[in-house]
Structure 1
Amino acid sequence: MKVAKFGGSSVANAGQFKKVQAIVKANDDRRVVVVSAAGKSDDEPIKVTDLLIEIERLRDAHENYQPIFDHVAKRFVEIRDELGLTVEIEDDLRKISDRIHNCSHDYLVSRGEYLTAKLMADFLGFQFVDAARFMIFNGDQIDYKASIQRLNKIISTGYQIVVPGFYGVDKNGEIRIMPRGGGDISGSIMANLVDADLYENWTDVSGIKMADPRIINNSRKINELTYEELQELSYMGISVFQEEAIQPVKEKQIPIAILNTNHPEEDGTLVVDSVNSDPNQLVTGIAGKKDYVVISVSKYQLNKRLDIMAKIFSVIQKFGVSFDYVPSGTDSFSFLARRTDVADKLDVIINALENDCDLDSVKLEKNIALVAAVSYQLSKRPAIAGRILDLLDDSQIKIHLVIQEGSDIKVVFGVSNEDYERTIAKIYRDVNLKAKKLKMVI
């Protein structure tokens, strides 16, 4: 059995609904369909979810949100009418409208998925199953035991269901949403709950590219990669698949297929537990993010000064900033954070480290980009990282830091923002082309 999740672009309008129907009907194994809220299209430049967020903002500011709600309502009614459906979506819209003035953020923002799934279930002739009936949160995590118990009471043998993604309920029955991109997570959880043979993630791209196609024209598609490789690439910035959606299927060894709703005939990317790597394919994928700050601290034999280490971490924790910690020697280590996360706290943090921690030096670097090369080859042949460094040095790209653990499947290079695109291009174009040469010398 397959669980098929369709993203916002796949359900943006009636035309996209028809593509989804053709895909689902082409294979009887697609018995569980999970949908995001209707997304952008040529006629609709704003996602329904973003419109609902704007409604909440206007409501809280005591401004008129009705025109935007009317637009959202009109959009769903038009999809219903163009498809010739009979579902009384107006009743649902009326209930939502009646609750806007005092409803929670999570309830309001999740209604895009709810309405989209209602229409999709009617169009496919499947049973609509509201995620609020069975997707149970326990704190910030899904309670799998409670969720599967509730789901089993709802579905019967031979079931065909449509489920809205992105939300569930807490123990008190209140709507709880997942992070943005939560439709991927919902689909992955559904695959886990029903013990699917395959989790299909349908989007608007034909699989995962080796590098950002906005930087590399005609970037090669990755045909197969492992869960771990996908997780590292997702963490480092590829937007095709949500990082948190990997673990639920990895736990049960359910393969992931990343496919294109607009071109279902094209092969996508398959994600599995292990692959037979081509020894000449040194890098599976390249990803990165711009706009980091790096705070480097040093003190003679700092690794032995637990008292100073405790002071440093106390300062960092006090400001509530999410830093990554990178040891860089016996006397020093660095903290990395996105510039937007640090915001106006940066000068205060630097002053606190300089004045309160008895350090020899505190160094700040801004406008740093992180570029990660990901591959299982890196864990087996760590010298590859050195060869990549040589290639970047030949291009006169200054490396501010390198992060790689001995067993790691990725190596991360810190470069200036202005060298970000050039670094990705250099690794993409030169590393795998030099694989045979590297094989002789590593």
Structure 2
Amino acid sequence: MKKNLYDFKNSLNGTKTKQIIALYLVNIIGIPLGIVTSMILTNYLGPKLFGDYSYLNGIFTFAMVIFNFGFLYAANRALVLNDDREKAKEIYGSSFILLLLVFLLMSVCLIIFGYFDSNINNKGLYEVFLYLMPFGWIYLLTNYFETLFQADNRIKALVFIRFYPKIGFFLSSLLIYFVFRKLDISKLLVVYVFYILTFLVVYAVALWEIKLSFKNLKPNFKSLWQYTKNYGFDVYIGSLFAVGVANLATLIISNYDPLNSNEGVGFFNLALTFTAPLALIPNIVATTHYKEFAGLDKIPSKLFKTTILLTLGSLVVLWVFIGPFIDMFYGKQYHSAIELTLIISLGIAAHGMADFFNRYLGAHGKGKMLRNSSVVVGISLLITNFLFIPIWHEKGAVFARLISGMVYLLNMLFYYKKYTNSKK
């Protein structure tokens, strides 16, 4: 194990450092791009339509988690243990075929859901919802790239699919604001046309660069099925409770909105946008060291201390500047997002540090530990969501996220200690 630690330390001065810097820079640059884009969109759409936009995105994001079934986590595991580039292309290809099949099932289920859901119909969103349906695979592809690229240590590709959609949609939002603002046309559809086009271009390039291979599909499907049974499905069940329930908050807020509006959804999602950077540092560090974690008996203490100090520093900066920032650039109509941001920030910071330990355990194939933790976190979030949101609406959602973030961190610490102690 000394050799592993030695190689790990040396990697900090070479390739891994460059990868950390690349991912960190793309996310740091992406933060103002995302925020400025949200500023333009909130100005163009207004609180109500921005809430509708956030709500529809929330439905597809929730569906992305539901219709995973663990095969992407299985492909993740297969790539972590693979050193053959030709075999890697086959894993990408076979999992892509599965993704297309899942998309067909997801589309049918969402159409039925939209038809019978009174909330979508009462708010006049079913028609837009149907227009978006043929492009729902874009949301699945986001999960596909994020899950597989980190396992394959394709950090440049990960940088590409994280950065270029942001800059593309930012440029699109400028075009929307200055060209389409005065036109008598559905503002929501205009935004979604450019949103979809941006992702279509970027993801098409990413797929071309992967050079998918569809050789040996039958044995690869069998292999992925084994990985799904032994690892992927456990993580999937956990993600249903953790990630799935987290995305469910948007839908619950919308259904309990007393004014039959999605404004609260918009405020809640703005708070998530402002606090997302708090989870970036631990996520980036863990992602770039994912393969190396598999060979380490524990996380180096220096790496952990540096990560937590940077996360706490980011939290303090957010607390100081969020109020003046929203007042200056969003205006009084979005003032409600300030309090939501301050409350949820602690939960997001805790969630980010929990993900740090999650990546380590995932690299060691501890799917059942991740599943068990996610179930506990998801149940706590589900209970608090249904307890708090009907009473306090979007404020109830941020309190629920705060509690679940703390529960998640405590669970990950428990399982990390349990696993590392067993290695002694």
TM-score for the superposition, normalised by structure 2? 0.26
Structure with bigger RCO (C-alpha 8 Å, 6+ apart): 2
TM-score for the superposition, normalised by structure 1? 0.25
Q: Which has the higher strand share?
A: 1
